[in-house]
């Protein structure tokens, strides 16, 4: 069996309060746009501060949570040019790093004003601590995919 090395296993949750802010070790602004999106496939451009990335993502690879994700850093000027080719208004969000969690506060799109937390796992059954500010799990719910905003 062929195993893809560029896989991502993550779980996503709504956030109940801003209590995570007191625990955040970093924060940065993110602007991202989509060059291509269809069910199960996206090509994204992301600018995070002075860095930029091109990312290709798939839907589920097999039953479970694993997805294909290929991400490479690209030149910031190239990213700004690619952003002009994106198919809709970019998503703008603030990302907070809280231990193993990435917490995104959305400023644009369908989730404007919402806060969503993600955790990446090595294995679908890996246990993790649930902070008190963590709410309902929305893993796998398409309305919470960035590409659908």
Which residues belong to the active site?
34
CA 60 to chain centre: 15
What is the per-residue DSSP string for 46-105? EEETTEEEEEEEEEESSSSS-EEEEEEEE-HHHHHHHHTTSSSPPEEEEEEEETTEEEEE
For residue 139 the two structure tokens come to 């893993």
**CA–CA separation, 118 vs 139, rounded Å?**
9
Phi and psi at residue 84, to the nearest 5°: -70, -20
Q: H-helix or E-strand containing 28?
A: strand 26-38
- Look up residue 124 and give its DSSP letter: T
């Amino acid at each position: 069996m062929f195993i893809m090395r560029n896989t991502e296993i993550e779980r996503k949750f709504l956030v109940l309060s801003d209590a995570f802010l007191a625990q955040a070790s970093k924060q940065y602004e993110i602007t991202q746009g989509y060059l291509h999106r269809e069910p199960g496939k996206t090509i994204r451009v992301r600018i995070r501060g002075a860095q930029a990335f091109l990312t290709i993502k798939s839907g589920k690879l097999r039953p479970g949570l694993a997805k294909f994700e290929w991400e490479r850093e690209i030149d910031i000027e190239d990213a700004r040019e690619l952003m002009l080719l994106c198919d809709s208004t970019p998503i703008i969000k603030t990302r907070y790093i809280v231990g193993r969690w990435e917490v995104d506060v959305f400023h644009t799109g369908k989730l404007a004003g919402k806060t969503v937390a993600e955790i990446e796992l090595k294995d679908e059954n890996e246990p993790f601590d649930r902070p008190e500010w963590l709410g309902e799990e929305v893993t796998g719910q398409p309305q919470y995919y960035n590409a659908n905003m």
